[in-house]
């Protein structure tokens, strides 16, 4: 069965430091991959998506992600984290039925 793994449950970074959130997927064919962000009590906001083409994808709020087929990974990065980036981040893959399959999420805390 398809699955998405986010190995880090909680990450704390200092404001201004760089960030990398890990995501691994399992799917034989070309995956369609997404990163969403959720602030407390809110819904999910789409940060970026990968369907095909350039493996480095730019998103909103200064985020980017790189698709690496050889590593089955789609890691999210940001060069300089802001306090407002504190939230929970979800990686997702499109399932065979069109639904999204989500990882368990990584909670990001930002130290001043």
Partner 1 sequence: KAGVTQTPRYLIKTRGQQVTLSCSPISGHRSVSWYQQTPGQGLQFLFEYFSETQRNKGNFPGRFSGRQFSNSRSEMNVSTLELGDSALYLCASSAKTAPPPDTQYFGPGTRLTVL
Which residue ranges make up the site for partner 1 (CB under 8 A)? 32, 34, 36, 41-46, 49, 51, 90, 92, 94-95, 97-105
Of the two residues 17 and 46, which places its CB atom closer to partner 1 in the complex? 46
Q: How many CA atoms lie within 13 A of 28 on its CB side?
A: 2
Of the two residues 98 and 112, which places its CB atom closer to partner 1 in the complex? 98
Of the two residues 49 and 77, which places its CB atom closer to partner 1 in the complex? 49
Tokens 């368990």 label which residue?
104
Q: Taking the complex as a whole, how short is the minimal distance between the CB of residue 112 and partner 1, in angstroms?
A: 27
Q: Taking the complex as a whole, how short is the minimal distance between the CB of residue 18 and partner 1, in angstroms?
A: 27
Of the two residues 23 and 81, which places its CB atom closer to partner 1 in the complex? 23
Q: DSSP readout, 36-95?
A: EEE-TT--EEEEEEE-SS-SEEE-GGG-EEEEEGGGTEEEEEESS--GGG-EEEEEEEE-
């Amino acid at each position: 069965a398809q699955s998405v793994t986010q190995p880090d449950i909680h990450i704390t970074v200092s404001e201004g430091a760089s960030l990398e959130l890990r995501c691994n997927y399992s799917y034989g064919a070309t995956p369609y991959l997404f990163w969403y962000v959720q602030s407390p009590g809110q819904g999910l906001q789409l940060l970026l998506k990968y369907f095909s083409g350039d493996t480095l994808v730019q998103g909103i709020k200064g985020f980017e992600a790189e698709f690496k087929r050889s590593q089955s990974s789609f890691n999210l990065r940001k060069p300089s984290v802001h306090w407002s980036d504190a939230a929970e981040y979800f990686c997702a893959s499109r399932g065979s039925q069109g639904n999204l399959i989500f990882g368990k999420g990584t909670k990001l805390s930002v130290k001043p």
